Each structure stands twice: as C-alpha cells, then as structure tokens.
Amino acid sequence: VTAELIDGRKIADALKEAVAAEITTLRAGHRRCGLATVLVGDDYGSRAYARRVARVAAELDVHCESVELPGDASRGEALAAVERLNADPAVSGVLVLRPLPPHLSEVELFGALAPEKDIESVHPVNAGLLAQGIPRFVPSTAASVFHLLDSWLDEAGEDRARFYHRSLIVVVGRSNNVGKPAISLAHDRQAAVTSVDEWASTEGRLGRYTRQADVLVVAAGVAGLITEEHVRPGAVVVDVGINPVRDAAGRVHLVGDVDLDQARRRARAITPVPGGVGPITDVWLVRNAVRAAASQEEGPR
Ligand code: NAD
C-alpha cells in the first residue's frame, strides 16, 4: 500500500481565496489591516518563515512590516519594538518569531504583546483562552494541521465529527507554539488524545505510543524521527517538522520529521514536506491578522 499524499498547497490556495474575500469585506468597511513579524537574530527557519509570510501578505495585498533586530539586541530594544507595533494603527497583528536568543525571555516578550494583536496566541491570556477551547486566535501551525485534516476529510466524503470522535490523535512534540495548541484543537474536536515528547524517545517508547495513532501529528523538529515502524497501518500522518539539512554538494534542503518513503508504506494518507502544513500556516497567519483588524474595530473583547 502507498499512502495518499495530501496536497497542502491546494488547500492553502483555497484558503487564500477565502481570506481574499474577507479582506475585500474589510476594505469595503474602510478598515485597515496589516501584520508585522519580529525577528531577533538570524535563525534559519525563522527567517525563512518571515519571508514566506511577507510573500503571502504581498499576494493578498496586505501591509507587512518585517522588523529585524540583531541577535545581541537588548531586552529594552526588543520590548520597545513590540510596544511600537502595539501602538501602530497600520498593524493589526504581530508575530514574534521563535526561537529568541537565550538572553531574552519569551515569557516577557510575549506578555508585552497587545492581546488583541497577538495573532499566534502566545500572550498568556490568549494561550489560556485557547486551552479553554474559546480561542481569540487559533495559532497558525496547529490551525493548519486541523484545517488540512478537515479539508482532507471533506474531500474524502467522510463525516468530520464521526472521524474525530472515533480517532486517537497522537501529537509528538509539546512546544507552546505547536504541540500544545495542536493538543487543544484535538480536544476541541472531541478526539482521544495522547501527547508525547522527547522523554518518550529517550526511554525508547516512542513507537509504543505512535503505533496506536489513528492520526499521527509530528512536531518535534528532528529530521527522519518517524519511520515505518512508528506508523499504524491505515493511519493519517501529518508532518509539521521543517528541518534544514545539507546535502553532499553543500546545498540546504528542508525535510520533515517523518521519513516519507518509509511511512508511506503503512499510512493511509500523509503530508509531504515541503508542500504539506507549511503553505497553509502562512495563509492562516494573514487570516488571523485580517480577523484581528475586524475585531479591533469592533472594540476590545
Ligand atoms: P520546539 O523545539 O519548540 O519543540 C519541539 C518539541 O518536540 C518539544 O516538546 C520536544 O520535547 C519534542 N521533541 C524533541 N525531540 C524529540 C524526540 N526525539 N522525540 C519526541 N519528541 C521530541 O519546536 P517547535 O517550535 O514546536 O517546532 C517543531 C517543528 O515544527 C520544527 O521542525 C519547526 O521547524 C516546525 N514548524 C513548522 C511549522 C509549519 O508551518 N509547518 C511552523 C512552526 C514550526
């Protein structure tokens, strides 16, 4: 059996059309919408992400400011950048890219974001709303995982509720910005949920958990972590990982956390990297900035 490849780009294109329609409605009401990314330092993945977001924003004709600070920027400089964006009426949504350099506190910087502009729900108030199942903004990566699954189910003619209610979703990776939000969204769909992180791998028990998964969501940031032996026959595998690897000629390629060729032998359906979750994430972020603009005009929640 060879698994179906789920085409994230096609799903992203459909989402982009829907967001374009929302932007048209927003503009008809003479409302402003814009987003800003804040990159501190020069992390490869973060820079690539900021570039992709800027490209999608340009395609949708949404104002996008890319703020870049040097890796040795002080706490005061980083906070000042966030505060300036909080106060800028041309910016409805702000994304502070991770990882931050070790001398800066994520908790402090995320806590300084205006909650109504915090389109990744990293401010403690927004993270709390998300955990309670009443998100102000659904963070882009986890949202994309479930938008992709929902879209695939619709395309396959399967009833979403029935599918989720009968499924065990295993999420590998438990970061605040990907794994934990994905767990919250799986709970919201009333699925059974298992959360696994690196300690399961260290203890040699990763496969024991992942082999139970009807839906396996992998967001560990470890190239090739998931092989054939980790996949239950007939599972749906969603690979969130984006890992730069250098080939023999010195060129950098992006690969996922799942060994696609191996996992395909067992899975029912699987997402490629690139071309799976990533393209949807970029559009979702712009969507959140558009929604932020709409709700800001209506006043604070
Ligand atoms: P992170 O480093 O903050 O968190 C990784 C998590 O995985 C941690 O909980 C860690 O315990 C766990 N983990 C690490 N090694 C493991 C192992 N061997 N076995 C099991 N669990 C392990 O990373 P993150 O920000 O959550 O991102 C995860 C991956 O997703 C990265 O590759 C990142 O580039 C990618 N990412 C993709 C998108 C997208 O749009 N597709 C968006 C954001 C992040």
Report DSSP letters for 218-283, one per residue: E-S--TT-B-GGGS-TT-EEEE---EEEE-TTS-EEEE-SB-HHHHTTT-SEE--SSSSHHHHHHH
The Å distance, Cα 225 to ligand 1 centre, comes to: 11
What is the structure's pLDDT at 112? 98
Q: Is the CB of 206 under 6 A from ligand 1?
A: yes
* 125-135 pLDDT, tens digit each: 999 999 999 99
Q: Is 20 in the pocket of ligand 1 (CB under 6 A)?
A: no
Task: Tell me if 179 CB under 6 Å of ligand 1.
Answer: yes
d(CA 270, CA 263): 8
How many A from CA of 217 to the centre of ligand 1?
A: 11
CA 222 to centroid of ligand 1, rounded, Å: 7
Which ligand 1 atom lies nearest to the CA of residue 98? 25
Share of residues in the chain with pLDDT > 90 (%): 94
Query: Where would I find the H helices in 2-139?
Result: 8-28, 44-59, 75-87, 106-112, 124-131
Confidence of residue 267 (pLDDT cuts 50, 70, 90): very high
Question: Is the beta carbon of 172 within 6 A of some atom in ligand 1?
Answer: yes
Taking CA atoms, 144 is separated from 152, 156, 182, 201, 243, in Å, by 12, 18, 9, 25, 18
Q: What is the pLDDT of residues 109-119, one digit of tens each?
A: 999 999 999 99
Give the Cα separation of 176 and 156 in Å (integer): 31
Distance between CA 59 and CA 54 in Å, rounded?
A: 9
The predicted-structure confidence for 182-198, as pLDDT tens digits, reads as follows 999 999 999 999 999 99
Tens digit of each residue's pLDDT (9 = 90 or more) over 70-108: 999 999 999 999 999 999 999 999 999 999 999 999 999
Ligand 1 lined by 97 (C-beta under 6 Å): no
Distance 92 CA to ligand 1 centre (A): 27
Q: pTM value?
A: 0.96
Q: Is 175 in the pocket of ligand 1 (CB under 6 A)?
A: yes
pLDDT band at 45, cuts 50/70/90? confident
**Average pLDDT for residues 14-22, to the nearest whole number?**
98
Q: How confident is the model at residue 297 (pLDDT cuts 50, 70, 90)?
A: low
Q: Is the CB of 219 under 6 A from ligand 1?
A: yes
Quick one: average pLDDT of 276-287?
97
- Residue 174 Cα: closest atom of ligand 1: 9
CB-ligand 1 contact for 240 (6 Å cutoff)? yes
Specify the DSSP element, H or E, that contains 208: helix 206-210
Q: Report how far ligand 1's centroid is from the alpha carbon of 221 (Å).
A: 4
Average pLDDT, the chain: 96
> What is the pLDDT averaged over residues 21-49?
93
**123-169 pLDDT per residue, tens:** 999 999 999 999 999 999 999 999 999 999 999 999 999 999 999 99
